[in-house]
Amino acid sequence: MATVLTTSRAFATCYKAQEVLKNAGLDINIITPSKPLQSDELVKLVNNVDAIIAGLDFIDDKVIKAASPMLKIIARNGVGYDRVDLKSASENNVYVTITPGTNSISVCELAFSLMTGLSRKVHLMDSYVREGSWKREPGIELFGKTIGILGTGAIGKNLALRCLAFGMNVIAYDLYPDKELIEKYHVKYVNDPQEIYQVADFISLHLPAVKQTHHMINKQSIDLMKKDVFIINTSRGELIDDDALYEALVTNRIKGAGLDVFTMEPFTDQRFFKLNNVILTPHSGAFTQEATEKTLIMAAKEVVRVLSGEKPLHPVN
């Protein structure tokens, strides 16, 4: 009987996804770590494993070789795969798959809620009421403001539609512009993110963590931005230089930031905890009942396909 290792904490309570594997006659080894597993931790778990349904774990060459030649597929529970060594996977005949579209609504809704929370300073006024104060904070409307969306895949596109519904001006950057956003919704695309930095009131990041995007938000890019800009990141922590962002926040060079993702998770940089112009959430963009179920079921179905001798629907290598 083939064995599937799952390291996504949500899998333990997603019975529909478990049924997909059980109905295919697969044995399931469910691990529920408190945080993403490092390579050295995974190496100890992958012996005689035919498939891995992975969360945000670090799956490098050592892990893949330790699981070879049994391992056939690494099914990512989500759309990011920067923590998986694609080169090693390909060399060892291991498919790496993702689950496109399953969490796009959930992530874009969190990005939007970070925007509204920051614009109305909800986090501050909540703390005042709890302390017995009736202090109010002046906010701003989203209506008429300009949002720059960097990356218009499923998440960025859904965010654009919601911003348009709120009467915002939407400009975007993507190597592959969305035809529908241009033709039906008249979203303006720019050729360089710098054009967004210079005019946007809100900047929302929806790009993968690759060499070209590493620390794209840095001192130089921040210097181009408006002083009342808000930066939202629900994509990958590696897109932002933390030191540059902290300096901009603490000096009020920018208005604020909403961060759901970080270079190191759990996030423990105490400097940010003392700031009142930042909202921090624990990489929870896709953590809704609906997205979790859809994502895990799709990942499980990819595992079944591959272990049945078929090709996966959403490979990235």
Give catalytic residue positions: 236, 265, 283
Q: How far is CA 23 from CA 7, 9, 27, 130, 224, in A?
A: 20, 21, 10, 50, 55
211 close to 235: Cβ distance less than 8 angstroms:
no
CA-atom Rg of the chain in angstroms: 21
Within 8 A by CB and 6+ apart from 144, the residues are: 167, 168, 169
175 and 190 Cβ atoms separated by less than 8 Å: no
Alpha helices in 68-225 (DSSP H): 86-91, 104-120, 122-130, 154-165, 179-183, 193-199, 219-224
